[in-house]
């Protein structure tokens, strides 16, 4: 009989994308496990693919607020969400519940503990979020992406990397085909620019200033602005500077952008780091300064200092001139190859267990 896996994830793409990556990997297993997503606000979450996965919603809201009434409401909603999750689990009968962090997952994980269903947590960031840190003592196993995270969580912690979505594997598509998709030149170095789930505005402002200083370069851009209102503005800006560019608000086929890119500039969320490492694309990282516990700064330190995959600048340091200068340095073939080799070497470490394997593992 196939296993039944209940996955709980919500909030930003950093939580939801890895959860969907796990579900896609589980779907490929010979044992054909059944998967159900349960969390708050899945019906309206822009990162969740409702057409591909079965899901049920439960009530959730932040627990802590400066407003006592909102705090009270948070605990009432928590109790309601736990009760709803219990009803779903009694119907679905999961063998294991997998949580990906954020308050959206708390009611479902508490319900799993109440029903004595094994819990596996996945922590994507170098610094654990509050939900995972608090719930780690309830988990059977905890999978982490960054090695240093092991020391910051209680329980049985193992390094499992990041479950990437279908198609997010290096070599699945020829670089030439990816460049054709974006209508770009195969002979020019390609810079991928995006701000991720958060913080695209600062990256956009920076690139507008940089473009004037990159007129004489051969660098071409793939730029995802995160805002449809500024697309035409950037197209005109790059055209005036003689820079060949594909500018879009978003890209549903982000794996094509990674296949096309020689270098990227962006934030240092866990998913961005994992995808850059998989595709062996060096980066200029500008950590989102308002991330909880400065976890993006720690993520970037890992990518730069441990892996050797790029450079890091605080947002306050990342002036137009600084970024233009470092960009022109890093797109040199020797420098690019040096960083790409470092990324490839890190990927060749001894095999580790994957989150998919951990989820399907029998309890001893």
What is residue 223's DSSP assignment?
A: E
Confidence (pLDDT) at 67: 84
Could you give the C-alpha distances from 29 to 3, 24, 33, 357, in angstroms and in order? 11, 9, 7, 10
Q: Which long-range contacts (CB under 8 A, 24 or more apart) does 23-26 make?
A: 23/53, 24/165, 24/166, 25/163, 25/354, 25/355, 25/356, 26/356, 26/359, 26/360
Three-class DSSP category at 194:
strand
What is residue 293's DSSP assignment?
A: G
The CATH number of 4-166+352-360 is 3.40.50.2000
pLDDT at 39 over 60: yes
Give the integer Cα–Cα distance in Å for 263 and 128.
Answer: 28
Query: What one-character-per-residue DSSP string does 87-107 give?
Result: HHHHHH--SEEEE-SSGGGHH
- Residues above pLDDT 70, as percent of the chain: 98
Residue stretches of the annotated binding site: 12-14, 125, 165, 197, 296
Please choose, from the candidates 28, 47, 27, 48, the residue with its C-alpha nearest in 3D space to the C-alpha of residue 37.
48
194 burial class (0-12, 13-18, 19+ CB within 10 angstroms)?
buried
Task: Report the mean per-residue pLDDT for the chain.
Answer: 93
Q: In whole angstroms, what separates CA 290 from the centre of its chain?
A: 17
Confidence (pLDDT) at 348: 86
Q: Confirm if 98 and 92 have CB atoms less than 8 A apart.
A: no
What is the pLDDT averaged over residues 216-238?
A: 94
φ/ψ bin of 138: left (φ > 0), alpha (ψ from -120 to 50), beta (otherwise): alpha
Q: Looking at per-residue confidence, does 200 or 91 come out higher?
A: 91
Residue 308, C-beta contacts closer than 8 angstroms, at least 6 positions apart = 339, 342, 343, 346
Residue stretches of the annotated binding site for UDP-N-acetyl-alpha-D-glucosamine: 12-14, 125, 165, 197, 296
What is the pLDDT averaged over residues 226-231?
A: 92
Q: Which long-range contacts (CB under 8 A, 24 or more apart) does 131-135 make?
A: 131/99, 131/101, 131/102, 131/103, 131/105, 131/106, 132/99, 132/101, 135/99, 135/106, 135/109
Q: Confirm if 9 and 37 have CB atoms less than 8 A apart.
A: yes
In the chain, residues under CATH classification 3.40.50.2000 are 4-166+352-360, 175-331
Could you give the C-alpha distances from 64 to 20, 75, 293, in angstroms and in order? 28, 9, 17
pLDDT at 197 over 70: no
Confidence (pLDDT) at 18: 96
Instruction: Determine if the pTM surpasses 0.85.
Output: yes
The H or E element that residue 265 is part of is: strand 263-266
The region of weakest confidence among 5-14, 126-135, 192-201, 304-313 is 192-201
**Per-residue pLDDT reduced to its tens digit, 68-123:** 888 889 899 999 999 999 999 999 999 999 999 999 999 999 999 999 999 999 99
CATH for 175-331 (3.90.1150.10, 3.40.50.2000, 1.10.230.10, 3.90.226.10): 3.40.50.2000
């Amino acid at each position: 009989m196939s296993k039944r896996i209940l996955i709980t994830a919500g909030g930003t793409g950093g939580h939801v994308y890895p959860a969907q990556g796990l579900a896609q990997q589980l779907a490929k297993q010979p044992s054909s496990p059944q998967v159900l997503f349960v969390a708050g606000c899945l019906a309206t979450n822009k990162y969740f693919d409702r057409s591909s996965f079965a899901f049920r919603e439960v009530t959730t809201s932040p627990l802590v607020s400066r407003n006592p009434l909102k705090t009270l409401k948070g605990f009432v909603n928590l109790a309601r969400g736990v009760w709803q999750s219990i009803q779903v689990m009694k119907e679905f009968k999961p063998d294991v519940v997998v949580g990906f962090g954020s308050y959206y997952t708390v009611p479902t994980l508490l319900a799993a503990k109440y029903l004595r269903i094994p819990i596996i947590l996945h922590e994507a960031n170098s610094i654990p979020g509050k939900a995972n840190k608090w719930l780690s003592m309830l988990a059977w196993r905890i999978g982490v992406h960054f090695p240093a995270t092991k020391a910051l969580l209680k329980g049985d912690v193992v390094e499992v990397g990041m479950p990437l979505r279908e198609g997010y594997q290096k070599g699945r598509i020829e670089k030439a085909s990816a460049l054709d998709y974006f209508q770009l030149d195969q002979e020019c170095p390609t810079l991928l620019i995006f701000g991720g789930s958060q913080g695209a505005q600062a990256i956009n402002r920076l690139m507008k200033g940089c473009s004037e200083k990159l007129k004489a370069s051969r660098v071409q851009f793939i730029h995802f602005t995160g805002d449809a209102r500024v697309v035409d503005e950037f197209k005109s800006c790059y055209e005036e500077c003689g820079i060949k560019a594909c500018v879009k608000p978003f890209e549903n086929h982000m794996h094509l952008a990674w296949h096309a890119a020689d270098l990227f500039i962006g934030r240092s969320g866990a998913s961005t780091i994992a995808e850059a490492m998989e595709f062996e694309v060096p980066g200029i990282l500008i950590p989102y300064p308002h991330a909880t516990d400065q976890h993006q700064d720690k993520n970037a330190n890992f990518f730069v200092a441990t892996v050797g995959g790029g450079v890091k600048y605080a947002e306050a340091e990342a002036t137009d001139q600084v970024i233009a200068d470092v960009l022109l340095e890093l797109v040199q073939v020797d420098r690019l190859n040096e960083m790409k080799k470092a990324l490839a070497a890190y990927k060749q470490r001894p095999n580790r267990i994957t989150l998919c394997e951990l989820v399907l593992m029998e309890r001893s």
